[in-house]
Amino acid sequence: MIKSLDRKIILTGISHGKCKKKREAVRMRKIEKWISDEELESIYSSSYWNNVEEEKKKGWWIADGNFKKCLELLKQSRLLEAYKKSEKFLLSFPAKSIIVVDLAAGIGWTTALLSKLPGVMEVRAVEISKHRLESLFEHSIKMLSGEGNKIFRYLGSFYDLKFENNSVDVIYMSQAFHHAAQPLKLLSECDRVLKANGIIILIGEQYFGIKTIFKKILSNLFRKGKLTINFYKMFPPDPILGDHYYRCRDYYSMFGTMGYSVKREYVGNEKVIYVAGKTGR
């Protein structure tokens, strides 16, 4: 499925701010399009994630080459910390020449960092946002000195991966899993493409502790005048962003249904890393 190299040159080696330092030029492969425009529009949250004007309001907008705001966002949100914590699971992975799939890869910051790991041979990034894949991805490679020659970009749904069965080692999702309206369908597709010893890594997943839930109960009681203790009524899905809210027990239950065992690590008080593999591996 590897496409020929594009002629566009991406300069890597940027650590902060605007482009100040050039390193070896790296060629980026052309984006492989898995779905038509009509199919893309049918994905319920795609209109938001393909809205360029909305994107420009966020810290993720780095098309102007000014990376300072994005780097600060990664730091303040503790996503960069979460990524660093998750690296050890890749560095200790027993296989050599690791193939990683970065699902709902966003602007490509995790893809860029994953591509730099010595044991990683390929990073296959799947995303539904055209402008993120076409433009912001390349800037992320510059911002984080990624290895563009290892990276493959795909415009498509994470429910329908065009990869062969048992063909990848690691599936990585940053702030992505909770966008699945059908999480078991997503996990089933992940399981199909994972090799027998493969793992799934989730970072940026929300943690709902007793304190957070209790605050929400009180908020509903005082603002709406009613007592609600049903978790899914207190935290309904976001119809625009496509966010869904799951408890720790939900992650364990969903992975358990698929025959996976799960490890978790906390990043601060609000984020969790989940690492899942087939039971007995």
Please state the three-class secondary structure of 79-110 as a single string: HHHHHHHHHHHHHCCCCCCEEEEEECCCCCHH
**All structural domains of the chain with their residue ranges:** 31-207+243-278
pLDDT in tens, 148-207: 999 999 999 999 999 999 999 999 999 999 999 999 999 999 999 999 999 999 999 987
**What does R_g of the chain's alpha carbons equal in angstroms?**
19
Q: Is the pLDDT assigned to residue 12 strictly greater than 70?
A: no
Residue range 234-238: mean pLDDT, rounded = 77
End-to-end C-alpha distance for the chain, whole angstroms: 29
Instruction: Please tell me the distance from the alpha carbon of residue 110 to that of residue 88, in angstroms, as a whole number.
Output: 14
Q: Is the Cβ–Cβ distance between 174 and 83 less than 8 Å?
A: yes
Q: pLDDT averaged over the chain?
A: 86
Task: Count the alpha carbons within 13 Å of 134 in the hemisphere toward its beta carbon.
Answer: 7
- State pTM to two decimals: 0.85
Predicted pLDDT of residue 240: 76
Asked whether the CA dihedral 138, 144, 147, 150 is positive or negative, the reply is: negative
State the architecture of 31-207+243-278 in CATH terms.
3-Layer(aba) Sandwich (3.40)
Predicted pLDDT of residue 219: 72
Residue range 112-135: mean pLDDT, rounded = 97
